[in-house]
Amino acid sequence: MTLLSLPLAHPRPQPAPPASAHPRVLLAPITVTPSKPLSPSHLKGLLWTDVMYRATRPLADVTYRYSHTTYHPTEQTLGFWEFLDRTRGDTDYTDLTEQQIGELYVDFRGADRTPAAALRPYAEAVADGWVHPAGSRVLQLWSRHYRALGLHDPGLRRYQPPGLDLETALHHLAEHGMCLDQRPVGGPVYLDLTRHGLPLRQLVTTDGRPNYLACALRELLPLAPDFDEVVLLYDSELDADYQLLERVLRSVGPQVRRVAVGRVPIDGQIRSARHGARPDLHAGALLEAARATHDPESVRLGMRLYFVAVLGRGHEQSFRPDLLHQCLKRAERLLRSAEPTGPAPLGERLARHRKDHLYVDPYRLASGLLGKRRADPGLDLLSEVFL
């Protein structure tokens, strides 16, 4: 069986959420396809998510769900892997850099679309936990960057399949009047929220290819009912899709929050990874430059100050190495002057940066470290959230 052709299955009834002294929060950020270097835009999203996760954890039971397994079945990933095997044969990817693999990805995006039949063996292998050697190499390199940045690793290299197969997820949508399935007449499958004033959105192509949104539904539909709040962090250019995802998840019970984070322009322009990355502006190069002149703790804190507090949620500011350097210097001063603990209990200091939601707002928290009249944050807060 493959993800492109699965038998109809019925959704299992969801168990009642377990009793908990703390509210339960599901943090579900958009994933980055393991086919390229981590750009400033990727770093921004990852650091926003990390600060939110670590700052909310003292106040709630937080599950950080980030599964590459779930999204491997998309054409973007399977097509790339098939392209590599077809054009590069038995290439050894062990010593390739992210930039070299990223250049191959640019070649793939400029090539003709791969026929669906050619992807079926890859979909079968992915369902059993297989990852292409090029993808494994990129994830290995990303794991090093995560360690250097002090990012929580939610399972970059683990096999984490979604709770529903594709047909079960579509059946759930159909039972709730949210699915327009035209496969019996040779058409695609749509998410249908038109009764809510939202447009039709294709989930599965005519030839059986699921897109990113279909994969997200397979993962989040069975998870969401066990939580009080689901937080979706994503690229602001995907806001229309995430409005649809929010509406579907609200139908199974939890409060759903959308946090759109804008990309980082380079020299005033936002460029997609499909066009390639500048060799000096990716996670590996930025970390190497920063660690050449700053200690590891200052790098971790300074990167968060820049990508979260200075760049903010929007996409107005281009990447500026000089401002990143200033944040690294500010981080050094903060770490030198910080007292062991702050003026109030840690939980109280973190809770100030929530509004009507359970999660702690990364921007409010991080920007508070830069104010001229800021209170001493305390090493306890810096260690818990930023280091």
pLDDT at 246: 97
Q: What is the DSSP string of 139-178?
A: HHHHHHHHHHHT---S-TTS----SS-HHHHHHHHHHTT-
Pairing of β 24-29 and β 255-261: unpaired
Q: Is residue 41 part of a domain?
A: yes
Q: Of the candidates 184, 185, 204, 201, which has an alpha carbon nearest to the alpha carbon of residue 123?
A: 204
Q: Is residue 118 part of a domain?
A: yes
Contact 308, 363 (CB under 8 A): yes
Instruction: Return the ∠ at Cα 379 (arms to 349 and 288), rounded to 5°.
Output: 115
Consecutive H or E run containing 13: none
Contact 29, 233 (CB under 8 A): yes
Q: Of the candidates 267, 177, 182, 220, which has an alpha carbon nearest to the alpha carbon of residue 31?
A: 220
Q: Name residues of the chain where pLDDT drops below 70.
A: 1-21, 272-277, 279, 373
Q: Is residue 212 part of a domain?
A: no
Q: Is residue 189 part of a domain?
A: no
pLDDT at 4: 40
Q: Is residue 191 part of a domain?
A: no
What does the radius of gyration of the chain's CA atoms come to, in whole angstroms?
22
Q: Is residue 211 part of a domain?
A: no
Is the pTM here over 0.85, yes or no?
yes
pLDDT at 167: 96
Q: Is residue 193 part of a domain?
A: no
Which range marks the domain in which residue 349 is found? 24-161+264-386
User: Where are the extended beta strands (E) located within the chain?
Assistant: 24-29, 61-64, 179-181, 189-191, 201-204, 229-235, 255-261
Contact 70, 219 (CB under 8 A): yes
Q: Of the candidates 277, 281, 308, 317, which has an alpha carbon nearest to the alpha carbon of residue 46?
A: 308
Contact 41, 375 (CB under 8 A): no
Evaluated on CA atoms 315, 317, 323, 325, the torsion sign reads positive
When divided into structural domains, the chain yields a total of 1
Residue-wise pLDDT tens digits, 320-367: 999 999 999 999 999 998 888 888 899 999 999 998 999 999 999 999
Q: What is the DSSP string of 245-299?
A: HHHHHHTTS-EEEEEEE----BTTB---GGG---TTSSHHHHHHHHHTTS-HHHH
Contact 50, 152 (CB under 8 A): yes
Q: Is residue 5 part of a domain?
A: no
